[in-house]
Structure 1
Amino acid sequence: MAGLSRRTFLGAAGAAGLGTVVGAQLAAAAPGCPRDAGATAYVGSYTSTPPAGHGLDVVSRTGTALTPVRTVSSVPDASWFDRSLDGHTLYVTNEGDPDGAISALDVRDAENPNLLGSVSSKGSAPTHLSVHSSQKYVLAANYGSGSVVVLPILDGGELGPATDLQQHVGAERDAHAHQVVNDPTGRWVLSVDLGAASVYVYTLDTGTGKLALHQQVTLPSGAGPRHLAFHPDGRYAYLAQELRPEITVLSWDAAAGKLTPLAVVPAVPAGATGDLFPGEIVVSKDAKFVYATVRGPNTLATFTVTGGGTGLKLVSSVDTGGNWPRHLALPADERWFYVANQRSGTVTWLPRDPATGLPGAVAGSLAVPSVNSVFFA
């Protein structure tokens, strides 16, 4: 990949070993393989990074375990998912470089996705997307080219050509947009940019599909903001910094569209050394806990929420059971964590104690080469 690739920036992925063998079994899984009629999940993996992943795999959650169902063809380098509010359409980033794309799939039959089509992301290596709360647009972040694109949702769920493209500009590094979401009110769009060390706050005209910059919050140089997650009350947000093992707590004023940093909390225990790169961040529904993956030590960090949302306290760091935990998913029942470990090519699952919020030891794993994310339907 040209320039600063998000996949090569922190080092080349290691060999998958057993993951390659079992992952191949997943790719060829028969449509009638035993599975639970409950939750369906979609697993993304890189097809252009060795060992080659499958792109998009469908798995079912049988009890707590993930069971292979099928691989969906023609969805390369699938790396992030979101679904329309009616549940009919799944949107997927195709993290190509230099030409990124966004795919739309009909998932009314959850275990048998049907590709509706793909459109250009107007940039390279789209790493994140979200369906705007208006259900009129898909917003996507192009990591490679440092831009945010707006794509209209057409009748039937397909995507049309971009209505807007906003280019970020970094001061010390090239811009690398890593996330784009709307705030809980739906009034504002926030984009996190690792290279520009900033969070951009936009308005979106839902009639024209145009973004307008409202605020740019600049973080300390070298922090590398990656992903943020909102507190359920919508007044606070928690931002994982990729290049420092830290979580930044911010206040959010939805009336004014203003984001303000409040505190910085370590994501690893005192004295930790070596590679320390936070990945995903998640807030529990009861707003009592925040979770983050940390690549290097390969841990799942648990924080308690303090001060009504104004603070975090690191209370636990447990092994994810794999190498390079890129992504973390909590299904709706929030009883299990599912972690995508990219370098070991495994999705592992750990129990969650609903009373203490703490994860237990790894209870199982599924091999998927170059895995990057898990999305529950």
Structure 2
Amino acid sequence: MKKIILAGLAAVLAIACAEKPEEKPMYTLFVGTYTDGDSEGIYTYTFDTNTGELSNQKLAAKLSNPSYLAISKDKKNLYAVQETADFDSLGGGVTAFTLKEGVLELQNSMGTQGAHPCHVSLSGDGHLAVANYTGGNVALFSLNDDGSLADDPQIIDHKPLDSVKTSHAHMAQFNADGIMVTDLGLDAVKRYNKKNGEFVPAEQYSLPFEDGAGPRHFSFGNNGKMLYVINELNSTISVFEKDVDENYQEVQVVPTLDAGFDGESFCADLHLSADGKFLYGSNRGENTIVIFAVDPTSGQLDLIGRESVHGDWPRNFSMDPTGEYLLVANKKTSNIAVFKRDMEKGTLTFLNETKHPNPVCLVFLN
């Protein structure tokens, strides 16, 4: 009888263990903020991919206006802009940290030689780029072996390029060809190639946009063949395709706002899903994430719909490393909204929100 009972218990335990759902990973989320209110700098959270909940908030580093963050591919360094005009006599700054088990240790800070730096990116081979919005230029730093910032950055100045419009460099992102820069004020994307250690204008130097479009951020699709640019001022997304001569040609422009929306709105961020099937963009004013399906053949966009961000002024958003969640930083309502993402349909379902002062950038450590 005892053997039968023990065998029965073993069977029950085996079934219970077999039915236990697989535990999904936890990730560290870094939050960049504006510090003109209750925020003190860069924060971390633990993100639970089993539940979609944020917890364990910590102040990772005190820093002035760390409004954009970037993490190195080897996860050893984190970089943050200081979006100010008074880091030094020339403008804002950028700061390098070492990253050890989610903890930041200051390495060094450098002036970006332009006011209000608003974007930072990494090349993966020892370079860092900062776009200075008010400064109208881009600072290109070399990185030392430990990831710290080297002296004497190359400065690409857009101010002399137009005597009528005012340059506002908004994003500088490395790619296989060199680096591309959105200039919201010039209504253009500028292309640069690397030659003899310097970045110089590419053969196709400028991608033009409609006057007043205000190109802000961009994303590449289909291994760089497609380029998607979100335009802040006229609330559109421009789609470009690379031709046989390696030049980008505009093939589509789509609105991001609902046809019935009658208020003031400004686009901010956009991200392509890891599988390349869906493109998401944020609307500040309409306060939505707009969702597009990407045609697998043409790369062009088809509207799926839009989802309220459950807050005000969605400046930046990010998908978690699993691709199952999308998190939105709502600046004016000081909250981070978490959505479950349908990976087959691309649609979003609101799950929860976490209050946080002036969040403007979300970056996962994966």
Please, what TM-score do these two structures have when normalized by structure 2? 0.87
Change (3 A) 1:313 1:150: same
Q: CA deviation at 1:307?
A: 5.8
Q: CA deviation at 1:107?
A: 0.8
Matching residue of 2:237: 247
Task: State yes or no: 1:181 paired with 2:173.
Answer: yes
8 Å Cα contact 1:149/1:162 also seen in 2: no
Matching residue of 2:16: none
Higher strand share: 2
* Deviation string, structure 1 residues 236-289 (Cα, Å, up to 9, x no partner): 011100001110001135x85522211100112223211121111011122111
Which structure has more relative contact order (CA 8 Å, sep 6+)? It is 1
In structure 2, what is the Cα distance between the partners aligned to 1:260 and 1:345? 39
Matching residue of 1:94: 82
In structure 1, what is the Cα distance between the partners aligned to 2:113 and 2:239? 32
- For residue 363 of structure 1, give the secondary structure of its aligned residue in structure 2: strand
Give 1:11-90 correspondences, 5 Å limit: 38-47=26-35, 49=36, 51-63=37-49, 64-90=52-78
Which of 96, 100, 104 is matched with 1:113 structurally? 104
Q: CA deviation at 1:70?
A: 1.5
- For residue 297 of structure 2, give the secondary structure of its aligned residue in structure 1: helix
Matching residue of 2:150: 160
* Deviation string, structure 1 residues 313-369 (Cα, Å, up to 9, x no partner): 121111011100001100121111100001001111011011111101x21112221
In structure 2, what is the Cα distance between the partners aligned to 1:62 and 1:88? 22
In structure 2, what is the Cα distance between the partners aligned to 1:53 and 1:159? 26
In structure 2, what is the Cα distance between the partners aligned to 1:318 and 1:268? 11
The code of the aligned residue for 1:188 comes to: G
The code of the aligned residue for 1:236 comes to: M
Q: CA deviation at 1:227?
A: 0.3
Matching residue of 1:353: 342
8 Å Cα contact 1:129/1:138 also seen in 2: yes
Matching residue of 1:126: 117
8 Å Cα contact 2:287/2:308 also seen in 1: yes
Structure 1 segments unaligned to the other structure (5+ residues):
1-35
- For residue 173 of structure 1, give the secondary structure of its aligned residue in structure 2: coil
In structure 1, what is the Cα distance between the partners aligned to 2:146 and 2:201? 30
- For residue 308 of structure 1, give the secondary structure of its aligned residue in structure 2: coil
Structure 2 segments unaligned to the other structure (5+ residues):
1-23
Q: CA deviation at 1:373?
A: 0.9
Aligned length: 332
Structure index of larger Rg: 2
Q: CA RMSD in A?
A: 1.7
* Deviation string, structure 1 residues 62-116 (Cα, Å, up to 9, x no partner): 3411213311333221111112221100111111114211111111221x11111
Change (3 A) 1:107 1:191: same
Task: State yes or no: 1:147 paired with 2:137.
Answer: yes
In structure 2, what is the Cα distance between the partners aligned to 1:66 and 1:307? 34
Q: Which runs of 4+ in 1 moved over 6 A?
A: none
Amino-acid identity (%): 25
Change (3 A) 1:73 1:82: closer
Change (3 A) 1:53 1:252: farther
8 Å Cα contact 2:40/2:62 also seen in 1: no
